[in-house]
Structures are given as C-alpha cells and as structure tokens.
Amino acid sequence: MTTTFRQTLFGGFLSRVVAGSKILLLVFALGAVSLAASTMRLDYYHTGNATQEFFSLDKLVIEPLSWPGNPRRPVDHSNLGKYLFEVIDRNTNRVIYSRGFASIYGEWETTDEAKKANRTFHESLRFPGPDKPVQVVLKKRDANNAFREIWSVTIDPEDIFIDRSKHTSPGQLIELEKNGDPADKVDFLILGDGYQSSEVKKFEQDARRLLDVLWATSPFKERRKDFNVWAICPPSAESGISRPSSKIYRQTPLGATYDAFGSERYVLTFDNRAFREIASFAPYEFVEILANNRTYGGGGIFGLYSTVAAQSNQAPYVFVHEFGHHFAGLADEYYTSPVAYAPATERVEPWEPNATALLDPKNLKWKDLVTPGTPNPTPWNKEEFEKYSREYQKRRSVIRSEGRPEEVMEALFLEVSQFERAFFAREKYFGKVGAFEGAMYESKGYYRPEADCIMFTRTTSFCAVCRRSIERVIDLYSRA
C-alpha cells in the first residue's frame, strides 16, 4: 500500500554537513536529494492483530529543532530491529537515510490479546528533511528474519499541508552533559513523568544520580565523551504515574503507566503523540523516561524509549538494563520471570545481537569472542538456578497479590542479588564467552553469550558481546 503526501522543506543545506562531507557535496551537485537542517517526523497509525497489520498516515511534521544526527553515517548497516525504514531518493532510487527499530505494536502482536482482537498504535519515524521528493519505505522481518516492504509513503517537499505550526515548549531544556555538536555525539534525552512543578529539582537529581550509574558501567564509562545528555521535565498536575493493578490513575504529560500488556512491572507510555511533541524540544536519538514512583518497574524498546521507576531501590539496575534494550537492541537473557508474550513456535536466529538459537554451532554469531577451550553449548548449573528462581517467583507473586509494602519486595530483590553473585562465582565458565542455554524468556532453545550479564540478572556489568554491540551503536551516531 502506498500513500502520497507532500511536505515543505525548512531551511537549507546544513553548512556543517557540506563542510564535513565531499560525498554529500557531489550528490548535491548532481541534483540528487540533499538532507536539510530541519527534522522531519512522519506520524502514522499501526493497526492489526497477530496475523495481519495495516498502516495509515496521520501527518507529517517539521519539529522545532534542527536535525541532530550524524551526517557522516546516515545509512544504518547494523541489521538491528524488527522493523526498518528507508528514505529513498525518487530520482536515483538510492537510500539516503535508514534506521532499524522496534515498536510497541511489534511486542503486542506476540501477546494472547492479539490473537483475538485488533488494536491501533500511534507511531513515528524521524529523519533529516529532504529538498526533493523521497519515498519512505517501511520494512518488517519475515519468518526467515529478512526485511520485507510492508508500507510506503511518498513525500514531496512542496506540499502546503505539512505541519509547521509553532508549539510552546513543555519545560526548560536542561543540559546535563555537553561534549560537542549534536551531529558529532549520541544525543540522549531524559524526560520526567509524574513530577509536579515543585519536584523539578528532584527530577534533575534523579537524572544525574542514574546517569552516574550509566557512566560507571562499561562501555558507557569509556565512551562518555561521545554523548550529550539533555533533560526536560514537563510539570504534572499530580505526583506519580498510573498503576491500574493498584487502582491508581494519573493524568501525566507523557502518559506513562505500569501494567503494560498486563505485566505489573512493565512501564510504557502508549501516548506516542504526547511523547513525540515533548521530546521534539530537545536534540535526541535516544530517550529515557523517569517515572516518579518507588514501585519496581521499567521497560525498554529498541529505538523508541526506555523507562524506569526512579525512586525504586532497583532503579540503578533497571535503568541500565532497559537502556540496553532501547539503545543497542539487546535481548532479555532471563527466562524464569513471567512475561506477556507467547513463546515462539519456531526457532529462527534472533536479530538481537546477544541471543542465538544455535542453529549452526560452528558459525556462532559471536564466535570471534568465544573464550578458547569453552564448550559450545556451554555447561552451567542450570537446574539449581531454575529451582531457586521458581521459588523466588512464587514469593514475589505473593508479595504483589497481598499488596505488601515495597520494602518487602526490595528486601527480596536484595536476597536474590546476593544469591546470584555467590551462585555465578562458583560457575566453572563464569566470565568466559560461550553459549549458555536459557534466554529470551525460554529455558530451552535459546542461548546467551556468558553465564551472567546485566541482561540476565541484577549484576553490574554487561557481557563482552553486549559491550561490543553497544559500542557499535555509539559509533553509528558519533563517528565518521
């Protein structure tokens, strides 16, 4: 299906882009599409169920700020994401911009609800503005994990109906860390939700406290100078966010809520329009939403945003873990916690860089990092771990069902962390890269790179495969 829409270009060719790229100068001289100073956003509706999906255009928007992205690496070759969109020059059929991503819809379609009902989600694609007609093509992975076109939109920069209206900033743009021009850095935006106007200072303290945790974690520690960090905290009428399972409902600027897809700990916002409007007042490629709550929770979707309950004593771990999902497309390596997603019916190699179905053991996708002498698959005390974890999950469920104080849950988390540290310290292949069975919510058939990692338990470090994956994304946004 193809929808035609025309958009108007704001501004001219970025002087810093022209100065920094002979290739772009050549393309410009030949009359092909050049990328402008403006930031374009395509808003659309994504509707469907477990077996079919449809798309319809909402509108095209010119955001308030210039495009913050790296002009030297406009095309994404990372092969990450369930979806991929490409901006194609209609005259030459060349891809001039692309990014892989995941979405709320992409998660929802794997739930039981999607088997019996339709739902609609509002989504957005952002890219640097073209000065000539382009085709925006949306692709999705098929059953073999290859990208296939599922929708496209023609954009003509002469159209008068592009939304160029001026909106009021939702709050002060706070510069938490500035290391250079947005075009040369990863631009990370932290948003607050559920903070009243009197709590803005508290939000900034929360943001700085959690950032310190990120900067203490490799490889972010070593690559800190490759980031700019911004923050906005739109004031909320009430303190805290919604938690329907506890009959708590809040109207907040971003609409963040617990209980996403029926999971009491899963925090998302389904109000994409509000999220995009607020975020548009900062340079950003990645976004973290801090929820002004103590109850344990968070979430992370590759290329969309990550979330964390900022007052939880587990916030430091959740912040880094969920940011791993959002930033580098890392898979969950745990498999004993309850989730809303239905198990996979077929084993295909995951696109996520830190999980494998081990369909071809001789060509393990991280084989260059495997520690010499490590068996593949790699043995570990799986049964002992699962026995403890099953008991832990029962205790956790009782605490929530009885509505016990958060201090009780926090004490349980501490006990579990102590057990896990002692447990993995005894593992023969601890700290070595191999293929350890148990990952992606399933006990059998999926494997993770190391015995332990932030993506598996409440430890404090990423495994070697996750570290490399994170560095590759940093390079995409900050290097030539």
> Residue with structure tokens 């945790």?
213
Q: Is the pLDDT of residue 27 over 60?
A: no
The answer to whether the Cα torsion of 371, 375, 380, 382 is positive or negative is positive
Is the pLDDT at 241 greater than 50? The verdict is: yes
Report, in angstroms and rounded to the nearest whole number, the Rg of the chain calculated over CA atoms: 22
Is pLDDT of 42 > 50? yes
pLDDT band at 30 (very low <50, low <70, confident <90, very high): very low
Tell me the C-alpha distance between 76 and 93, whole Å.
17
Element (H, E) at 469: helix 464-478
Task: Dump pLDDT digits (tens) for 275-333.
Answer: 999 999 999 999 999 999 999 999 999 999 999 999 999 999 999 999 999 999 999 99
**Could you report the per-residue pLDDT of 7-20, keeping only the tens digit for each?**
322 222 233 333 33
Length of the chain: 480
The CA distances from residue 338 to 117, 248, 316, 355, in Å, are: 22, 22, 22, 19
User: Does residue 255 register a pLDDT over 60?
Assistant: yes
Q: What is the DSSP letter of 355?
A: -
pLDDT of residue 33: 66
How far apart (Å, rounded) are the C-alpha atoms in residues 277 and 420?
42
| Structural domains for the chain | 2-156 (2.60.40.3250), 174-328 (3.40.390.10), 361-460 (no CATH)
pTM: 0.92
Please indicate whether residue 357 or residue 8 has the higher confidence score (pLDDT).
Answer: 357
| CB within 8 Å of 136: residues ≥ 6 apart | 42, 85, 86, 87, 88, 125, 127, 152, 153, 154, 155
pLDDT at 34: 62
The mean per-residue pLDDT over the stretch 155-178 comes to 94
Instruction: Give the residue-averaged pLDDT of 57-63.
Output: 97
pLDDT of 221 strictly over 50: yes
Q: Average pLDDT for residues 118-141, to the nearest whole number?
A: 97
Q: By CB neighbour count within 10 A (0-12 exposed, 13-18 middle, 19+ buried), where does 175 fall?
A: exposed
- What confidence score (pLDDT) does residue 250 get? 98
pLDDT at residue 19, as a whole number: 31
pLDDT at 342: 63
Q: Supply the DSSP string of 100-160, one letter for each residue.
A: EE--HHHHHTTBSGGGT--EEEEEEEEEEEESS-EEEEEEEE-TTS-EEEEEEEEEETB-T
Per-residue pLDDT, 341: 65
Q: Return the pLDDT at 480.
A: 78
Provide the mean pLDDT of the chain. 92
- Strands of 298-301's sheet, edge to edge? 174-177, 227-232, 186-193, 286-291, 305-309, 298-301
Q: How many CB atoms lie within 10 A of CB 422?
A: 9
Q: Is the pLDDT of residue 224 over 60?
A: yes
Cβ-Cβ contacts under 8 Å for 346 (sequence gap 6 or more):
143
Q: What is the mean pLDDT of residues 85-105?
A: 97
Which of residues 206 and 23 earns the better pLDDT score?
A: 206
